[in-house]
Amino acid sequence: MVGSHFLPLLFLLLGSALVTAEWDSADSPGIHTDSHTHQGARQPHQGDREGDGNGDRIIEGYKCEKGSHPWQVALLKGSQLHCGGVLVDRRWVLTAAHCKMGQYTVQVGSNELGDRRAQRIKATKSFRHPRYSTQTHENDIMLVWLNKPARMSSTVKAANLPTRCEPAGTSCSVSGWGTTTSPQVTFPAQLMCTNVNLIPHNECKKVYKDLLGQSMLCAGIKDSKTNTCNGDSGGPLMCRGTVQGVVSWGTFPCGKPNDPGVYTQLCKYTNWVKNTMRRHS
């Protein structure tokens, strides 16, 4: 989603010396996180439906089946999408640290943005990982505490935290309300999904070099455009029934073949998540 006022761009230029490898793109694109989508900068995938700023959406995805992602939430700024997130407890939402705001409205229980039947819960407390870096996006993970518990049902369920790191090649799904076109933006009302595979860290490192930290996980499909984009930030990468990743950043424009999406690798943060929820509940 676009929203220049949410997060600053990270002007970390890739330059022109990307190593040619199986997962390299033909040219040297900019990197985006959830802020302005300017070429030549790494940008996160957050978004606002109005304005000229951030956001990531699913490229070449499909509408998620109704009820298939009961843990998916939308973090709203007013009525506008800011980021995605994943319910991990009736009082807690997991998202990306770069999605930080002072307060949120959290939509729970519907694939459709603005659905009047969905639960909307205020959230005024959030806890970034203490070692999150706004420059490198290492440790790009955050917990949001809901002011009241979500009402659990067939359409509202907490996702399972990982007990192990899944290996490269594992088939996963990612979901979000981010833009489905790039660089032009088209924001869907319906939750979008796509299927991706986990990529070996050393292969992804050949594409992103020093931008790829040890806390990061890559996923994509070789030679495919399918990927997350602006507005998808903070959303879940689900693998074998557990949250293995949180949408963090990627290249801009989105959807360039062989430019994998980059996620915070949640299996390395399970203890931090559990300890943070316990301390602040």
- Is residue 174 within 8 Å of 229, Cβ to Cβ? no
Per-residue 3-state assignment (H helix, E strand, C coil) for 92-143? EEEECHHHCCCCEEEEECCCECCCCCCEEEEECEEEECCCCCCCCCCCCCEE
> Helix or strand or coil: residue 42?
strand
- Is residue 55 within 8 Å of 37, Cβ to Cβ? yes
Residue of 49, 191, 193 whose CA lies nearest to 111? 191
The active-site residue, picked from 89, 140, 232, 259, is: 140
Spell out the residues 6+ positions from residue 26 whose beta carbon is closer than 8 angstroms to its own: none
The active-site residue, picked from 48, 233, 248, 259, is: 233
- Helix spans in 147-235 (H): 201-208
Task: Note if 48 is an active site residue.
Answer: no
Round to whole Å and give the CA distance between 127 and 94.
10
The active-site residue, picked from 69, 82, 98, 137, is: 98
Task: Note if 98 is an active site residue.
Answer: yes
Count Cα neighbours of 249 within 13 Å in the Cβ-side half-sphere. 34
> In the structure encoding, which two tokens stand for residue 17, read together?
């010396």
- Helix spans in the chain (H): 201-208, 270-280
The DSSP-derived string for 199-267 is E-HHHHHHHHGGG--TTEEEEE-TT---B--BT-TT-EEEETTEEEEEEEEEEESS--TT--EEEEEGG
Task: Note if 175 is an active site residue.
Answer: no
How many angstroms separate the most distant Cα atoms in the chain? 51
For the annotated catalytic residues, the residue numbers are: 98, 140, 233
